A and B are shown apart, each in its own frame.
Chain A
Amino acid sequence: SQKIEQNSEALNIQEGKTATLTCNYTNYSPAYLQWYRQDPGRGPVFLLLIRENEKEKRKERLKVTFDTTLKQSLFHITASQPADSATYLCAPRASGSARQLTFGSGTQLTVLP
C-alpha cells in the first residue's frame, strides 16, 4: 500500500539556521507533491507544489526538492524565524488518480529564539 513518512520526531532548530524536513514515499510514483503548513487549531495552508519533472522549487525563504529516484522530497526553510514554528505536511499525488491527495502525518517544527 502507499505509504508516506515524514520526520518522525519534532524538529527543533535555532533561529537563523536552515530547517530541513524530509518526506519519503513508497509504493507509488507521484506526478507532483505539495507542501502545506498547519498551525495549531487551524486548517492546513498551501505553500509549494513541485512536479515530477522539476528538481527544485523556490519561494522566498522556502525551497523544495523532489528526487523521484530516492522517492523523497526535502523542504528547506532558510534563515528560520520563530514565526516559522508549525507543523508541515507533505502531500504527494499519483498521476491519473482522481482528485485525491495523500497527506503525511507532518513534522512539527519549533524555531527557538
Chain B
Amino acid sequence: NAGVTQTPKFQVLKTGQSMTLQCAQDMNHNSMYWYRQDPGMGLRLIYYSASEGTTDKGEVPNGYNVSRLNKREFSLRLESAAPSQTSVYFCASSVDGASDTQYFGPGTRLTVL
C-alpha cells in the first residue's frame, strides 16, 4: 500500500514549456486534490475532483488544467509554464464525505526559469 504517489519529484522548466504532474492513489479514495505550497503562503488549492469524472476549480486555478483519468489517477498540467508557477506541488486524496482526512503525496518541486 503506497498511499499517494507523485512523479516527478523534481523538475526544472523554461518559461513557456509545458508539463504534466502525475498523481496516483491506491486507497480507493473518491476525492483527489492538487495544492501548491509557497513560503509564507501555506497550501493553496488549485483543483479538486470530488469523484471520478468531475473536477472543480479551487483557489488558484489559473494557468493549470487537470484530468481525473480514473478513480486512482489525477494529473495536473501546466500548458505554458511561468516563473510564478515555481512552487512545491502536492497531490492529496480523501475517502469522501463532509469531514475527510486528506492523505498527501511527497510533493513535486518545480522551478520555472
Contacts and interface: CB of A to CB of B under 8 A. Distances in A.
Contacts of B98: 31
A73 interface: no
A40 B107 CA distance: 11
B53 to A, nearest CB: 15
Interface in B94-111: 94, 96, 98-107
A103 B99 CA distance: 15
A41 B9 CA distance: 10
Q: Is the interface of A mostly helix, strand, loop or mixed?
A: loop
B48 A43 contact: no
A102 B59 CA distance: 9
B42 A99 contact: no
Contacts of B31: 99
A100 B107 CA distance: 19
B102 A42 contact: no
Contacts, number: 55
Contact of B43 (A46, A89, A93, A99): A89
A103 B42 contact: yes
Given A43-B90, A43-B106, A105-B42, A99 B50 contact: yes
21 contacts: A34-B101, A41-B106, A41-B107, A42-B106, A43-B107, A44-B43, A44-B90, A44-B102, A44-B104, A46-B101, A46-B103, A49-B99, A89-B42, A98-B50, A99-B94, A99-B96, A100-B45, A100-B48, A101-B45, A105-B41, A105-B42
Given A4-B42, A31-B98, A99-B31, 5 more contacts: A43-B107, A98-B48, A98-B56, A99-B94, A100-B58
Interface of B: 4, 31, 33, 35, 40-45, 48, 50, 56, 58, 90, 92, 94, 96, 98-107
